[in-house]
């Protein structure tokens, strides 16, 4: 059934009888994203060896490389790369967000906590900043908030991937949420935190031991995913440090 015809049919159903995808398709921009991108996403998944839609998503943001990676899994237990999107604009510097107005893009372990079909930046998905670590390590009383992955190419602390990119990612995320993935993980790193990336940061930021200690903590979670291809479980201790365990 065409997307528009489906949306008209769904409008006659009570909201409680609809899936998450069906509720999202009530919005014009979401319908347009599916209409414009679904065929290409089906082909992408087929070419990469996934069913469409994939059962689960994982998003990884690498600030220095200015790339947003989309990983997916379906019947396979491990995540595999699906597509990369260029981050077309950035603000702030490498390092975590610690207060409102510092222009920083957060760094840490988050999940998608909002789908906004009426965004000023076409479509957007919220990142669960501030998390418990951010609240413990914040500077001052207000750590800020409202951090989104969105369209367009402007930002103050968010992750813009232009309109065409967000149409694809939003559609995939709606499918994953509707299929039962309550939390889509989003890990945000200053750079690739493999041994070479960490060495480069240590050489460049040798006079910032506190920052390097934070990045070494993030690197533990980065390496767990690289080793297992499953996002690790991340909890936070009383000092704001992440504590990881391999997901099963």
199-242 residue pLDDT tens: 999 999 999 999 999 999 999 999 999 999 999 999 999 999 99
58 to 69, 74, 79, 228, 245: CA distances (angstroms): 8, 12, 8, 13, 17
- Domain 3-245 fold is L,D-transpeptidase catalytic domain-like (2.40.440)
pLDDT, one tens digit per residue, over 168-209 is: 999 999 999 999 999 999 999 999 999 999 999 999 999 999
Q: In a 3-state reduction of DSSP, which class is residue 245?
A: strand
* Alpha-carbon torsion (169, 171, 172, 173), positive or negative: positive
pTM for the whole structure: 0.92
Q: Which two tokens stand for residue 179?
A: 């299929």
Question: Which residue reads 């993030």 in tokens?
Answer: 218
* pLDDT band (50, 70, 90) for residue 74: confident
Of the candidates 29, 20, 195, 16, the one whose C-alpha atom is nearest the C-alpha of residue 3 is 29
Sequence-distant (6+) residues with CB within 8 A of 28 are none
199 to 185, 203, 212, 215, 242: CA distances (angstroms): 26, 6, 10, 11, 21
Q: Where along the chain do its domains lie?
A: 3-245
- The per-residue pLDDT of the chain, averaged, comes to 93
Element (H, E) at 81: strand 80-86
């Amino acid at each position: 059934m065409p997307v528009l015809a489906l949306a008209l049919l769904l409008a006659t159903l009570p909201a409680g009888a609809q899936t998450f995808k069906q509720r999202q398709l009530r919005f014009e921009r979401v319908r347009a994203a599916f209409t414009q991108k679904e065929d290409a996403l089906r082909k992408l998944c087929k070419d990469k060896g996934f069913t469409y839609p994939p059962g689960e998503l994982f998003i990884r943001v690498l600030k220095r490389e200015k790339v947003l990676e989309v990983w997916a899994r379906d019947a396979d237990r491990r995540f595999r790369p699906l597509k990369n999107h260029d981050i077309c604009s950035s603000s702030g510097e490498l390092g975590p967000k610690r207060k409102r107005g510092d222009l920083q893009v957060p760094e840490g372990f988050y999940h998608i906590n909002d789908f906004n079909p009426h965004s000023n930046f076409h479509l957007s998905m919220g990142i669960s900043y501030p998390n418990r670590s951010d609240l413990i390590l914040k500077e001052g009383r207000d750590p800020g908030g409202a951090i989104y992955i969105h369209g367009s190419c402007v930002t103050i602390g968010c992750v813009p991937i232009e309109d065409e990119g967000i149409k694809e990612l939003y559609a995939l995320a709606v499918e994953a949420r509707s299929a039962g993935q309550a939390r889509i993980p989003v890990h945000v790193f200053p750079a690739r935190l493999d041994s070479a990336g960490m060495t480069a940061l240590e050489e460049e930021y040798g006079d910032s031991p506190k920052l390097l200690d934070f990045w070494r903590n993030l690197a533990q979670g980065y390496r767990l995913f690289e080793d297992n291809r499953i996002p690790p479980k991340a909890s936070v201790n009383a000092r704001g440090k992440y504590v990881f365990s391999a997901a099963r």
